[in-house]
Structure 1
Amino acid sequence: MFEISQLRCFIAVAEELHFSRAAERLNMTQPPLSRQVQLLEHSVGVQLLDRSSRVVRLTAAGKAFLPEAVRIIRLAEEAGLMARRVAKGEQGSLAIGFTSASGYALLPEVVRRLRERTPELALTLKELVSTAQVEALDAGQLDLALMRPLALHGELVSLPIAQEGLLLALPANEAGRWPQEPTLACLHQRPFIMYSPHEARPFYQMLTSRFEREGVVPDVVEHIGQVHTMLALVSAGIGAALVSEACARLHFDGVVLRRMKTEPVSTVCTYRRDNDNPILQLFINEILPGFPGAR
């Protein structure tokens, strides 16, 4: 098989039609240049240059081979450039998982900052509940997960990226019977739409822990995995619900949202320790520190 250096030598001679000028162009002497062309012809199996006269000419095979040689050199240079750009985080791909709540505000900001830093980035976005994101990380289907905090095994790393308040979602026709500045205590023994312990386990565990700590026992009427379904049930008057602040962007008719007097909830970005994707490393080292919740 011929080498790239042999192609470069052939192209120089083919374009100059003169060995001395081609050697000068390549900053080498004529004997090794001639040797490289001979090796190329031996590898290809045909004569590419006619040296029978004092003027160098391309043979018919050489004329056909020249544009292909130029194309190979261009592809090799482009491949090298792409590899360098990927290594620097200037080009590449990233697969991001996100919860429905993080998709309303956090994800668009993550995407904006990534594209601002790496305009040629190819993104794959997958909406998944937090537990499914962990499974996708383990399977190598995601590079980065925007999710609620979960207990993780040692191969995964979670870093804080955002914090947001909790909102009490109320049926509009019942809002007058609730405090303007609600606390968890006002949910005691009232109809409440709870998160699913399976599909939305982090939020379920977080709320369960807070209710137990404050001695609050809501009347749980449904367990729901997705927040938009939860708000639709609130709109129908099924009960109240607690949602993250980003969900205010959904603007459901028949739903009143009031900020809760309780500690905020966190979103983390999670990834595998052994993931060497340069774009992921760029995100962690350069972009993540710019998010207020990461400080």
Structure 2
Amino acid sequence: MGTSSYELFQLRCFVAVAEELNFRRAAGRLNMTQPPLSRQIKLLEHAVGEVLLFRTSREVRLTSAGASFLVSANSLLQQAELAVLVARQAARGEAGDVALGFVPSAGINFVPRIACAVMEHLPDVNFKPIEMMSYEIIQSLRSGQLDMGLTRTSRRHAEIESLQVVSEPFVLAVPSDHPLARSPAPEIADLDGLRFVGYSADRGGYLCEQHKVLFIGLGITPRIVMEVSQTMTILSCVNSGIGVSLVPRSSLAVQMSNLTFREIETPDRLRSTLYLTIGPRRRDTPLSNRMRDIIADVLRDAR
């Protein structure tokens, strides 16, 4: 009875003989002589516990067991070759899974650009973008559920690498029929007393805080008529004529029928920032280094 233990080399020997049905040609194909080839076939048959090849001095043919085993042998060899390929790609940072958490506003412009770049430069990487809030991203990085993140927070954690990749100004979003849509040079002071759609403090906290600091610093008081957490919701509200707003400049990628964007001068400190964060599961691996370089390059124009 066989021991069911055999080597990949024995499988290659068997496949060569099975395909050639001639030991001399199979030996030439494998760059070896016939005696050691015959020896490998006998060892394989012993391991399997079945005769795989019927051979005489005049012919070689597969037995029924051999015909069935040939299919499995080819599959095993292909899997082995794939395993080697994937391992080498992983060592070069060219294959693997990357789960990237991102705040919703990054999905308007930045995440699609990152996804396109990954598809182009790392086609064998399984890229999984997941929309989350900043605190959820940090928690998931620390627990190992995420590999990387695009967050609003710059708070430091010893086990998490953090790199600022976006620092963009705000633009004014107004309904197309609003007077500010036609103003030669809108100013922040023009927002005093106007209906304003802002970010909520609970789930849009970072951008909400940016607005508050700006308005308090300049001594103006817009009339807050609504506060929501997502930039796309704010833009939809502006498009519907509910009010005006200040949104990150990457929002220019959005087009709506009654939505107009205007450049507006703001203090240098008023910036919409994003940080690329890398969790401990991926720090300093070839794949994380490739991803970091790609993301930094894609977002170079946003700094």
Same structural fold, with TM-score higher than 0.5 when normalized by the shorter chain: yes
**1:58-137 map, 5 Å:** 58-137=62-141
Distance 1:177-1:3 versus aligned 2 partners, 3 A rule: closer
Q: Which residue of 2 aligns with 1:288?
A: 296
1:40-77 deviation line (CA, Å, top 9, x unaligned): 11211112233565654433322332232223212222
Q: Which residue of 2 aligns with 1:250?
A: 254
SS at match of 1:101: helix
Deviation at 1:226, TM superposition (A): 1.0
Indicate if the aligned counterparts of 1:199 and 1:225 stay in contact, CA closer than 8 A.
yes
Q: Which residue of 2 aligns with 1:148?
A: 152
* In 2: Cα distance, 1:260 partner to 1:115 partner: 35
* In 2: Cα distance, 1:15 partner to 1:256 partner: 69
Q: Which residue of 2 aligns with 1:193?
A: 197
Indicate if the aligned counterparts of 2:117 and 2:298 stay in contact, CA closer than 8 A.
no
1:83-134 deviation line (CA, Å, top 9, x unaligned): 3234334444433333333222222221222222123443323233333333
Distance 1:25-1:218 versus aligned 2 partners, 3 A rule: same
The answer to whether the aligner puts 1:275 opposite 2:282 as a matched pair is yes
* In 1: Cα distance, 2:294 partner to 2:247 partner: 30
1:196-240 deviation line (CA, Å, top 9, x unaligned): 222112212333334444445544443210122223333455443
* In 1: Cα distance, 2:260 partner to 2:295 partner: 35
**1:261-272 map, 5 Å:** 261-262=265-266, 263=268, 264-272=271-279
* In 1: Cα distance, 2:178 partner to 2:19 partner: 84
The answer to whether the aligner puts 1:202 opposite 2:206 as a matched pair is yes
Indicate if the aligned counterparts of 2:102 and 2:133 stay in contact, CA closer than 8 A.
yes
Indicate if the aligned counterparts of 2:198 and 2:208 stay in contact, CA closer than 8 A.
yes
Indicate if the aligned counterparts of 1:175 and 1:256 stay in contact, CA closer than 8 A.
no
Distance 1:62-1:257 versus aligned 2 partners, 3 A rule: closer
Indicate if the aligned counterparts of 2:171 and 2:261 stay in contact, CA closer than 8 A.
yes
Structure 1 unaligned regions, length at least 5: none
Q: Which residue of 2 aligns with 1:43?
A: 47
Q: Which residue of 2 aligns with 1:225?
A: 229
Deviation at 1:265, TM superposition (A): 2.3
SS at match of 2:158: coil
Q: Which amino acid aligns with 1:289?
A: D
* In 1: Cα distance, 2:142 partner to 2:226 partner: 31
The farther-off stretch of 63-72 and 15-24 is 15-24
Indicate if the aligned counterparts of 1:161 and 1:293 stay in contact, CA closer than 8 A.
no
Q: Which amino acid aligns with 2:119?
A: R
Indicate if the aligned counterparts of 2:175 and 2:243 stay in contact, CA closer than 8 A.
yes
Deviation at 1:189, TM superposition (A): 5.4
The farther-off stretch of 209-218 and 154-163 is 209-218
Indicate if the aligned counterparts of 1:187 and 1:216 stay in contact, CA closer than 8 A.
yes
Deviation at 1:170, TM superposition (A): 3.4
Percentage of pairs with the same residue: 37
Indicate if the aligned counterparts of 2:173 and 2:245 stay in contact, CA closer than 8 A.
yes
Deviation at 1:256, TM superposition (A): 4.0
Q: Which amino acid aligns with 1:199?
A: R
* In 2: Cα distance, 1:253 partner to 1:9 partner: 69
Q: CA RMSD in A?
A: 3.2
Distance 1:16-1:234 versus aligned 2 partners, 3 A rule: closer
Q: Which amino acid aligns with 2:49?
A: G
* In 1: Cα distance, 2:209 partner to 2:164 partner: 18
